[in-house]
Amino acid sequence: MTGAVGGRWVLGERYALEPVPMGRGGMGTVYEGHDLRLKRRVAVKFIRFPHDADEAERKEMVDRFVRESRITAELQHPGVPSVFDAGTDGDGRPYLVMQRIDGMSVGDLIGEQERLSVGWTAGIGAQVCSVLAAAHGASLVHRDLKPTNLMLEKTGTVKVLDFGLAVALDRTDMSQITRTGHTPGTPEYMAPEQLMAGRATPRSDLYALGCVLFEMLTGRRLFRASTPWAVASKQANETPERVRSVRSDVPSGLSEVIAALLEKKPEDRPEDAVEVYGRLMGFVGDLEPMPQALHPPSRPNPHRMYGAALSRVASAPGPEKDRERGGGTAAGSAPEPGPGPRAGTDLPAIDRSAVSEARLAASGLVSQGRNREAAEALRGAAVRAASAFGGTDPEVVELRLERANILFQSGDFRQAGPLYAALAKDLENSPGGDVSLMFRCRLQDATCRALGGDAVRALELLRGLLADEVAELGADDPRPLELRHQIGLLELGAGHREEAERTLRGLRADLVRLHGEEHPTVLRIDGSLQRASEF
Enumerate residues 6+ apart whose C-beta is below 8 A from 200: 141, 143, 167, 169, 173, 184, 185, 191, 193, 194
Closest to 463 in 3D by CA, of 258, 450, 420, 53: 450
CA pair distance 187, 216, nearest whole angstrom = 17
Q: What is the pLDDT of residue 26?
A: 58
Measured CA to CA, the distance from residue 40 to residue 15 in angstroms comes to 10
Output the CATH code of domain 104-296. Answer: 1.10.510.10
Which residue, among 199, 77, 211, 213, has the nearest Cα to 141 in the 3D structure? 199
More confident: 181 or 289: 289
Instruction: List where CATH 1.10.510.10 sits in the chain.
Output: 104-296
pLDDT for residue 338: 67
pLDDT at residue 173, rounded to an integer: 42
Nearest to 215 by CA among 273, 278, 272, 145: 145
Would you say 161 and 79 are in contact if contact means Cβ atoms under 8 Å apart? no
Region at 90 (left for phi over 0; alpha for psi -120 to 50; beta for the rest)? alpha
Q: Phi, psi at residue 54, to the nearest 5°?
A: -85, 180
| CA dihedral of 383, 384, 388, 393, whole degrees rounded to 10 | -50
For residues 58 and 126, the answer to whether their CB atoms sit within 8 Å is no
User: Taking a C-beta distance cutoff of 8 angstroms, is the pair 15, 97 a contact?
Assistant: yes
pLDDT of residue 291: 67
AA letter at 124: I
- Give CA angle at 12 (8, 18), nearest 5°: 20
Across the beta sheet with 158-160, the strand order is 104-105, 150-152, 158-160
Return the amino acid letter for 370. Answer: R
d(CA 109, CA 115): 9
Q: Which residues contact 327 (CB under 8 A, 6 or more apart)?
A: none
The CATH number, out of the four listed (3.10.20.310, 3.30.200.20, 1.20.120.530, 3.40.190.10), of the domain defined by the range 4-99: 3.30.200.20
For the chain, give the mean pLDDT.
83
Pick the closest to residue 451 from 499, 484, 422, 410 (CA basis).
Answer: 410
Question: Across the strands, what pairs with 160?
Answer: 150
Contact criterion met (CB below 8 Å) for 507 and 484 = yes
In the predicted model, what is the mean pLDDT of residues 154-182?
Answer: 57
E strands in 369-503: none
Specify the long-range contacts of residues 24-31, CB closer than 8 Å, at least 24 apart: 24/48, 25/144, 25/162, 26/50, 26/182, 26/184, 27/165, 27/184, 28/162, 28/164, 28/165, 30/164
Classify residue 140 by its DSSP letter.
B
Say what the pLDDT of residue 165 is. 47
From 143-152, 305-314, 382-391, the region with the lowest mean pLDDT:
305-314
Contact 459/193 with Cβ under 8 angstroms? no
Identify the helix (H) or strand (E) that includes residue 44: strand 40-47
Given this model, what pLDDT does residue 102 score?
A: 87
pLDDT digits (tens, 9 = 90+) for 281-323: 999 987 787 766 776 665 666 766 777 676 667 666 655 444 4
Query: Over the stretch 402-451, which tens digit does the pLDDT of each residue have?
Result: 999 988 877 778 889 999 999 999 999 988 878 999 999 999 999 888 87
Provide the 8-state DSSP code for 178.
Answer: G
What is the three-class DSSP state of 85? strand
Closest C-alpha to 116, from 245, 213, 242 = 213
For the cut 60, the answer to whether the pLDDT of residue 367 exceeds it is yes
113 CA to centre of own chain: 32
Residue 478's Cβ-count burial label (10 Å; 0-12, 13-18, 19+) is: exposed
User: pLDDT category, 355, cuts 50, 70, 90?
Assistant: confident
Residue 396 CA to residue 381 CA, distance in Å, equals 9
Q: Is the pLDDT of residue 359 over 70?
A: yes
pLDDT of residue 535: 64
The pLDDT of residue 331 is above 50: no
Residues 73-101, mean pLDDT to the nearest whole number:
87
What's the pLDDT at 7? 62
Element (H, E) at 88: strand 83-88
Catalytic residues: 144
> CB under 8 Å to 499, separation ≥6 — which residues?
491
Cβ-contact 232, 187 below 8 angstroms: yes
Rounded to an integer, what distance in angstroms lies between the CA atom of residue 487 and that of residue 66?
30
30-57 pLDDT tens trace: 899 999 999 999 999 888 777 777 888 7
Task: Report pLDDT digits (tens) over 486-520.
Answer: 899 888 888 888 898 999 999 999 999 999 998 88
High-pLDDT (> 70) share of the chain, %: 83
205-241 confidence digits (pLDDT tens): 999 999 999 999 999 999 998 888 889 889 988 999 9
What is the dihedral angle through the alpha carbons of 129, 134, 139, 145, rounded to the nearest 10 degrees? -40
